[in-house]
Amino acid sequence: MDMLRHYFPLCWLNVSVLDLPRSTRFFKNNAIFYFIAVFFIQFNMSDDIDSVFEVLLEVLLTLGFIALVLLLNRTFNTFIQVASAILFCENVVAIFLIPIVFWVTVAEDTPSYATLALFFLWDIAIVARIFKDVLQVNTPASMVVSLFYFLTTYGGAYGIYSLVGG
């Protein structure tokens, strides 16, 4: 519970990821919760077997992207903190997003899509702030890295699964 108190302000862009404590247990718990949360969202859009493989790909691409960026920046020693922070914030957004995704699939109206877009922008801002702190770049550069993160993880998982799974 103490770790949640440290990491939650990150979702409101109030703390630097580099000031957060390191915990492999917290990282593992967030990775498991992330898999489950994304699975619920994905399961709403496709069948169960497809969802499992696509979500597994998404988790691997998420961790792979974070690792690659940190390796290229020579800051891999912050991997646990950064991955924990991104996964935790993605989990917080997903908690709000799960009912909205169900609402979008049922209602398919403008307010539901607008709400979905607002949460997506919030998610982009959080990830951009994390990369800004870790990579020590300006805000536009961190936004670009954040967009590449989303394209790689979500688009990459969908693209790879479409090519492999048909």
2 occurs within a structural domain: no
Cα distance between residue 157 and residue 155, in whole Å: 6
30 occurs within a structural domain: yes
* Mean pLDDT, all residues of the chain: 90
17 occurs within a structural domain: no
Are 62 and 153 in contact by the 8 Å Cβ rule? The answer is yes
Chain segment 94-115, per-residue pLDDT in tens = 899 888 877 877 777 888 889 8
Q: What's the pLDDT score for residue 165? A: 72
1 occurs within a structural domain: no
Are 58 and 153 in contact by the 8 Å Cβ rule? The answer is yes
145 occurs within a structural domain: yes
Cα distance between residue 19 and residue 160, in whole Å: 35
104 occurs within a structural domain: yes
Domain of 35 in residue numbering reads as: 24-165
110 occurs within a structural domain: yes
Check: pTM over 0.85? Answer yes or no: yes
Place of tokens 């993605």: 90
In the structure encoding, which two tokens stand for residue 140, read together? 């536009």
3 occurs within a structural domain: no
- Predicted confidence (pLDDT) at residue 142 exceeds the cutoff of 90: yes
Chain segment 20-58, per-residue pLDDT in tens = 999 999 999 999 999 988 887 777 666 667 778 888 889
- Structural domains of the chain, count: 1
- Where b means 16+ CB within 10 Å and e means fewer, 105-134 reads eeeeeeebeebeeeeeebbbbbbbbbbbbb
